[in-house]
Structure 1
Amino acid sequence: MYQNILVATGGSPWSDAAVAYAIAIAARTGANLRVLTVLVNPGIYANPDVLGGTEFVVDIVEKDGQELIARIADQAGQAGVRCETFCRWGGVPETILHTAQECSSDLIVLGSRMLSGWKRLRLGHVANAVSAKAQQPVLVVKRPPE
């Protein structure tokens, strides 16, 4: 059914749920798994000069991203799933969509908080943007209840 599955993760609990689903689907279908984490310029969230300089902050963000996808690649390997990892800088929805096309993905898997009340009217910025523009099916995984 699926040959190439792309899962995007940021290391959050809802991303972890998406990763678990993606690994399970890949294991059952024999699909290749592509794991993507998108790194966002830390200057958007913090003053890098206060934190020790832009290069220092960028190095930390990149190191954390590499560690995250390496850990997921290990999980996939333990499940017998072939896995390729990507750690890229850019806008999150745009980078997910670009990587999905580049890798000929036939399924994109994302996590979402699936908020309640008025907030539930929106999937979330990333899931909503990717779902609206993707050329392939998008599976949005809700974080399992605690």
Structure 2
Amino acid sequence: MLGDAASPTPFGPQEALMTTAASTMPFKRILVPVDGSDHGFHAARTAARLARAFDAKLTLLTVYDAPSAALGEPNYSAALSQALDHARGLIDEARQAVRDAGGPEPEVEWLGGSPADTIIEVAKDGGYDLIVMGTHGRGRLTAALLGSVSNAVAARAGRPVLVVGDGR
């Protein structure tokens, strides 16, 4: 799986798509962005099995929509607190999905910002050699019109990205 190609990769009952940038395996640092969707939690379970197989470190990341300071106080603090509480809840659910799949205890991060840009930045800055993320399974036209975080990450991450569905 070397080069700049995308190839279907069966892993369990779902079909996945692995984009590969020039890299070596086995993977030692795996980043798993989660958004609260079934697809994201399935990606966490898939990454847990990969981390166990490769004896890799696993990090769960959620990117929240940071509120604008233009809200003023106390609205800004309330909105930020709500966003952080939601992010922590997503991380807790994803952490449980990793445990249920027999994966290692993950590190966790939650950051405010643009999802695709933040995921790519964390992957590069953290030296992750694989990103495992869910996709919502939109059609090509819808993804082209609305954009797709998984497509943007796969195109720009500069490292392998395993994109999985929800396992149905």
**Secondary structure in structure 2 of the residue aligned to 1:81:** coil
CA RMSD of aligned residues (A): 2.5
**Secondary structure in structure 2 of the residue aligned to 1:86:** strand
Residue 49 of structure 2 corresponds to which residue in structure 1? 24
- Aligned equivalents of 1:19, 1:122: Cα separation in 2: 27
- Aligned equivalents of 1:143, 1:114: Cα separation in 2: 9
**Letter of the structure 1 residue corresponding to residue 152 of structure 2:** A
State the TM-score, normalized to the length of structure 2: 0.72
Residue 134 of structure 1 corresponds to which residue in structure 2? 157
Residue 63 of structure 1 corresponds to which residue in structure 2? 85
Residue 94 of structure 2 corresponds to which residue in structure 1? 72
Cα distance, 1:117 vs structure 2 = 6.8
**Secondary structure in structure 1 of the residue aligned to 2:104:** coil
Whether the 8 Å contact between 1:108 and 1:138 is mirrored in structure 2 is yes
Listed as ranges, the matches of 1:42-121 within 5 Å are 42=67, 53-77=75-99, 79-116=102-139, 118-119=141-142
Fraction of identical pairs, as percent? 29
**Secondary structure in structure 1 of the residue aligned to 2:118:** helix
Cα distance, 1:140 vs structure 2 = 0.7
Aligned residues: 140
Residue 37 of structure 1 corresponds to which residue in structure 2? 62
5+ residue gaps, structure 2, are 1-25
Change (3 A) 1:116 1:75: closer
How far does the alpha carbon of each residue in 1:50-76 deviate from its partner, in whole angstroms, 9 at most, with x for none? xx8232121011011112213333443
- Aligned equivalents of 2:44, 2:145: Cα separation in 1: 21
**Letter of the structure 2 residue corresponding to residue 106 of structure 1:** D
5+ residue gaps, structure 1, are none
Change (3 A) 1:135 1:123: farther
Cα distance, 1:28 vs structure 2 = 1.4
Whether the 8 Å contact between 1:122 and 1:128 is mirrored in structure 2 is no
State the TM-score, normalized to the length of structure 1: 0.82
- Aligned equivalents of 1:104, 1:117: Cα separation in 2: 30
Residue 22 of structure 2 corresponds to which residue in structure 1? none
- Runs (4+) of structure 1 exceeding 6 A deviation are 120-123
> In proportion to residue count, which structure has more helix?
1
Cα distance, 1:94 vs structure 2 = 0.8
